[in-house]
Amino acid sequence: MPQCFGFTFSGQRLLGIFFPASILLVTILLGYILRKVIFRRLILWSRNTKSQVDDAIIVAIKGPFIIWFLILGIYFALGSSELPQEIISIADKVLLVLGIFSVTLALANISARLIRIYSSKIETALPVTSLTENISRIIIFCVGILVILSGLGISITPMLATLGIGGLAVALALQDTLSNLFSGFHIIMARQIRVGDYIKLDSGEEGYVTDITWRTTKIRMLPNNVILVPNEKLTKVIVTNYYLPDKEMAVLINVGVHYKSDLKKVEKITCEVGKEVMKDVLGGVPGFDPFIRYNTFNSSSIDFTVILRAKEFVDQYLIKHEFVKRLQERYAKEGIVIPFPIRAINYEQEK
């Protein structure tokens, strides 16, 4: 009989372990099956829609979906176990924190994706930078932390008051950092400097804006170097944005011809070469009609400016390169002379 009682006690103990473990495994397996079935149909459905919002939500919740079922399985397993109530209570709070944190993380990822989608579709939307994405994540995480504290029974009102006083002290200690932070917000909201724009500072640095962070604006120069400009300084300097009001820009090339040249013929030939360049060279604007403007009787030539057009700033270099080659070749065929600089010395006047 003692062995029988021992066997019965051991069997009950095994049953007390096996049953919660079975619940945990069944819940995880159910979550895995539901994840396969539900998300397969959601992906097929999203392919038939034009909106990218559903795609962003599906991608953001697909990862933590199985984690939510794991947390749910542990919760059910603990409820059916024979563990002391104190341990179950602590475990429930831990699961609550993990559940809220995983939901917060998913919402933060969804918000970042929606900001990126919204900004790419609507011109007046908030531009996508590291600053905007991180701020959205920080706000959602702060709300998630407050919900966790509230769920644990911790009063958040005194904490908010303490954070307000502490925030004032931190603001005084981090004036330069906060100045760059708010300057970054000003740059983003004003939309006078945007990610992807080609800009030039009054100090001479120029390049593409690659990112606007909480402290600096990153500018990638044409030699592939990166300039880090503090946001506060960027709001105070003179900046030329070659992408505003649009990317297309005029390309000016100065040329001089001999005084004996037929200026009407020079204008006709030069514009013909310019049209060829606009149509053939990558970066030219095919629909643009080049023109010239005579401007100076120089010491050895009659000077004029050729006006071409490029699709964006860096395209001007190839356009100038091809135009100079083709113009020199065409002038040689047509007998149009580009004179060398001439300086005459008057010996009689010197005497």
**Of 277, 305, 301, 279, the residue nearest 291 (C-alpha):** 305
Say which residues have a Cβ less than 8 Å from residue 157's Cβ, sequence separation at least 6: none
- The tens-digit pLDDT sequence of the chain (351 residues) is 444 444 454 555 555 566 677 777 887 788 778 877 887 877 777 777 777 767 777 777 777 777 887 888 777 777 777 677 777 777 777 887 788 778 887 777 777 777 666 665 554 445 556 666 667 777 777 777 777 777 666 666 666 566 665 555 555 555 677 778 888 878 887 788 988 899 999 988 999 999 888 889 999 999 999 999 999 899 889 999 999 889 999 999 999 999 999 999 999 999 999 999 999 999 999 999 999 999 999 888 999 999 999 999 999 999 999 999 999 999 999 999 998 876 666 666 555
For residue 7, count other CB atoms closer than 10 A to its CB. 10
Tokens 């991608």 correspond to what residue?
59
For residue 224, count other CB atoms closer than 10 A to its CB. 7
- pLDDT, position 16: 57
Q: Integer distance in angstroms from the first to the last C-alpha of the chain?
A: 143
Whether 319 and 288 have beta carbons less than 8 Å apart is answered as no
Q: Read off the pTM.
A: 0.58
CA 299 to each of CA 195, 223, 293, 306, 328: distance values in angstroms, whole numbers, following the listed order: 46, 37, 18, 20, 21
Tell me the three-class secondary structure of the chain, residue by residue. Answer: CHHHHHHHHHHHHHHHHHHHHHHHHHHHHHHHHHHHHHHHHHHHHHHCCCCCHHHHHHHHHHHHHHHHHHHHHHHHHHHCCCCCHHHHHHHHHHHHHHHHHHHHHHHHHHHHHHHHHHHHHCCCCCCCCHHHHHHHHHHHHHHHHHHHHHHCCCCCHHHHHHHHHHHHHHHHHCHHHHHHHHHHHHHHHHCCCCCCCEEEECCCCEEEEEEECCCEEEEECCCCCEEEEEHHHHCCCCEEECCCCCCCEEEEEEEEECCCCCHHHHHHHHHHHHHHHHHHCCCECCCCCCEEEEEEECCCCEEEEEEEEECCCCHHHHHHHHHHHHHHHHHHHHCCCCCCCCCCCCHHHHC
- pLDDT, position 1: 44
- pLDDT, position 213: 85
- pLDDT, position 220: 94
- pLDDT, position 121: 56
For residue 66, count other CB atoms closer than 10 A to its CB. 14
- pLDDT, position 174: 54
